[in-house]
Chain A
Amino acid sequence: DTGVSQDPRHKITKRGQNVTFRCDPISEHNRLYWYRQTLGQGPEFLTYFQNEAQLEKSRLLSDRFSAERPKGSFSTLEIQRTEQGDSAMYLCASSLLGVGYNEQFFGPGTRLTVL
């Protein structure tokens, strides 16, 4: 079963440090999404890619956040100068454009704790 995978699963960092997360989507999926989930809330959309193009970014994605999908396959999400408010679960999802209603399939998430 080759679902969406994310690495690392957990990350603890000190305030001010940079962190990078990786997402590997389902292999044939051309759309990739990043969401953030905080305690007691549902996932909130951050950004999405269609192939290698980043097509939409949420206002939640401050200048300290950057996402890439260089070859249209895996994606990375980098947070620079982390703040305690960045502590959350970062979820990646993928879907296949053109098939049905493009349900999104989620990975297990990366839990970030900023001390």
Chain B
Amino acid sequence: DQQVKQNSPSLSVQEGRISILNCDYTNSMFDYFLWYKKYPAEGPTFLISISSIKDKNEDGRFTVFLNKSAKHLSLHIVPSQPGDSAVYFCAARSTGTASKLTFGTGTRLQVTL
């Protein structure tokens, strides 16, 4: 039962263009969402988050959008840089289990020159 889904296993984008990574969830109890970036041989690194009371959060080149009615969130990276090439995980947390994160399967982003 995959409660957090990232349906695109990979994405290739040219340097300078926008990268859009998508995430869908099924559990309506989720109230906080996070994006993590992971390089090979390293643990996931926290990138940006959003509470369910908001629909947008921005941090530099990174913006996360949340559409609660569609149970969908997306991460926009603009402009994309070669150093952004990594695996990106969407994660969610519910009010009832304020500790546990439920992760998607990840999207591998490749930013090409």
A, B from the same assembly = yes
Chain A interface residues (CB < 8 Å from chain B): 4, 6, 31, 33, 35, 40-45, 48, 50, 55-56, 58, 91, 93, 101-109
Is B101's CB under 8 angstroms from A104's CB? Answer: yes
- In the complex, what distance in Å separates the CA atom of A103 from the CA atom of B36? 10
User: How many A-B contacts if CB must be within 8 Å?
Assistant: 58
User: What 7 pairs across the A-B complex have the smallest Cβ distances?
Assistant: A42-B103, A106-B43, A45-B100, A106-B44, A108-B43, A48-B99, A103-B46
- In the complex, what distance in Å separates the CA atom of A88 from the CA atom of B32? 27
- In the complex, what distance in Å separates the CA atom of A50 from the CA atom of B98? 12
Chain B: interface size category: 20 to 34
Contact with A along B38-70 (1 / 0, CB 8 A): 000111111001010000000000000000000
Is B103's CB under 8 angstroms from A56's CB? Answer: no
- In the complex, what distance in Å separates the CA atom of A50 from the CA atom of B97? 13
Question: Does chain A have a CB within 8 A of B91?
Answer: yes
Question: Does chain A have a CB within 8 A of B102?
Answer: yes
A-B contact pairs, 27 of them (CB 8 A): A4-B43, A6-B43, A33-B101, A35-B101, A40-B105, A42-B91, A42-B103, A42-B104, A43-B89, A43-B101, A43-B103, A45-B100, A56-B99, A91-B43, A91-B44, A101-B32, A102-B99, A103-B34, A103-B46, A104-B101, A106-B36, A106-B43, A106-B44, A106-B46, A107-B43, A108-B41, A109-B43
